[in-house]
Amino acid sequence: MKIVQSFWSGNKDCLKDSYGWSSPIYHYASWILSCNQLQKYYDDVILVTDKVGYDILINRLHLPYSDVIVCLDELSKYNSDMWALAKIKAYDTLDEPFIHVDGDVYIWDKFDRCLGNHDLIVQNIETTSDYYRSMWNEIRPSIDILPEIMEKYDQGTSQKAYNMGIFGGNDISFIKSYCKQAVDFVNQNLEQVNKLKGINFNIFFEQVLLHELCTRYGKDVATYINEDIGDNEYQGFADFDNVPEDKTYLHLLGFYKRTPTVCNKMLAYVIKYYPQYMVYLEKLLALKPSIAGYIVNVTQDKMDYEITSYKDSLMNGKVDAKFNIKNMVLRNISSIGASRELESYLKSGKKFMIVPTNSFSLAKKYIRIKELYGHDMTVPALSVDSVIFDIIGKKTDNEKFCYAAEGCLDISFPLEKRKDFIKFLWKRISLLMSYGVLVPVKCSL
Q: In terms of domains, do 139 and 24 share one?
A: yes
Domain boundary pick from 224, 251, 278: 251
Q: In terms of domains, do 144 and 227 share one?
A: yes
pLDDT for residue 131: 85
pLDDT of 35 above 80: yes
pLDDT for residue 84: 96
Q: What angle do CA 250, 256, 260 make, to 5 degrees?
A: 115
Q: What is the pLDDT of residues 60-74, one digit of tens each?
A: 999 999 999 999 999
pTM above 0.75, yes or no: yes
Percent of the chain topping pLDDT 70: 99
Q: What is the pLDDT of residues 399-419, one digit of tens each?
A: 999 999 999 998 888 888 989
Domain count, the chain: 2
Domain that holds residue 389: 324-442
**pLDDT averaged over the chain?**
94
Residues contacting residue 119 through CB under 8 Å, at least 6 positions apart:
169, 170, 171, 174, 219, 220, 221
Q: What is the pLDDT of residues 74-86, one digit of tens each?
A: 999 999 999 999 9
Paired residues of 3 in beta bridges: 45, 99
DSSP state letters, 239-265: -GGGTTTT-SEEE--GGGGG-HHHHHH
Instruction: Find, among 72, 74, 103, the residue nearest to 90 by Cα.
Output: 72
Q: Does a structural domain hold residue 238? A: yes
pLDDT for residue 130: 81
CATH of the domain at 50: 3.90.550
Q: Does a structural domain hold residue 412? A: yes
Q: In terms of domains, do 241 and 388 share one?
A: no
Q: In terms of domains, do 189 and 59 share one?
A: yes
Domain boundary pick from 251, 268, 298: 251
Paired residues of 121 in beta bridges: 168, 222
Q: In terms of domains, do 328 and 231 share one?
A: no
pLDDT of 330 above 70: yes
Q: What is the pLDDT of residues 144-156, one digit of tens each?
A: 999 999 999 999 9
Q: In terms of domains, do 61 and 200 share one?
A: yes
Check residue 286 and give left, alpha or beta (phi > 0: left; psi -120 to 50: alpha).
Answer: left
Q: Does a structural domain hold residue 256? A: no
